[in-house]
Amino acid sequence: MGRTQKGADRLRPLWDFTDLDASERRFRAALDDETSDAGRAEVLTQLARIEGLHGRFEQAGTLLTEAEQLAGPSDVASARLLLERGP
């Protein structure tokens, strides 16, 4: 696929908004591959988005709470949390 641009969303290639189940499988596999808490927090925010898109808001909230506990000082994880939690 080529080189990743600086500042590009590293998780974007895992998304297929026309197939949320496949996206979820890719994110769950990515979660297993993450080596840092902040990275796991990022992936959890995307799993929460999938739950929200399915209308499962309680499950989404649980995943976001778990992500908050892992995010630490990561600006990227914090930004993803803010995006998924909303105003």
pLDDT tens string 51-84? 999 999 999 999 999 999 999 999 999 999 999 9
**SS3 category, 7:** coil
**SS3 state at 3:** coil
Residues in the chain: 87
pLDDT tens track for 24-41: 999 999 999 999 999 999
| Cα distance between residue 36 and residue 58, in whole Å | 25
Q: Which range (2-16, 42-56, 66-80) has the least confidence?
A: 2-16
